[in-house]
Amino acid sequence: MISWTSGQIVGARSMTSYDIINGRKVPGTVLKADNEIHGKHQGSVTVIGCTLIIFGTLQGSLALRGGATVIVQGIHQGSISVSEGSSMMVRGKAQGSVHISVGSKVIVESSGTLSGSMKNEGELTIRGVFGGSYLGSGIKVLEGSGCIKEPRIVDGVHYYEW
């Protein structure tokens, strides 16, 4: 298991995509071996065919491909794309837009919150709290004390209060 702290990673990096962080061009991170985040990492991460556990904070987009698994114990802030055969479990907080592809799964555990717009073509299980716009023809299941937060609407604008 490879792990990194304070934004430093040991593993594959790719310049196919990049982020602008504090005015600097920073390559996106591509993971092809099991990994963990402790502390804070800024920038996009693509997880391919392995497992990533976020104990700290990830600020950046997150893409799951090739049967990848991501477990959010801490905080993720950024968009999430879960492709076919991949899965994500939220035990902490995930904040940002989410796209769940056909044949993929996202589970919000009882301790988890998922806030942001959702496009679900796969399977979403909510045991914790989800709040945000929702669209798609995927499966949506509420289990246990799972709930969908309703917005407060002011002048046609939807506000989700956490």
Token pair for residue 137? 């023809």
The pLDDT confidence band at residue 155, using thresholds 50, 70 and 90, is very high
Out of 7-11, 14-18, 68-72, pick the least confident: 7-11
Q: In what order do the strands lie in the sheet with 57-59?
A: 40-42, 57-59, 75-77, 93-95, 113-115, 129-131, 147-149
- Cα–Cα nearest to 107, from 93, 86, 132, 124: 124
pLDDT at residue 15 above 80? no
Task: Look up residue 143 and give its amino acid.
Answer: E
The total number of structural domains that make up the chain: 1
Question: Could you tell me the residue range of the domain that residue 142 belongs to?
Answer: 2-159
Q: Which residues of 114-153 are buried (b: 16+ CB within 10 A; e: fewer)?
A: bbbebbbbbbbbbbbbbbbeeebebebeeeeebeeeeeee
Q: What is the pTM of this model?
A: 0.86
pLDDT at residue 148 above 90? yes
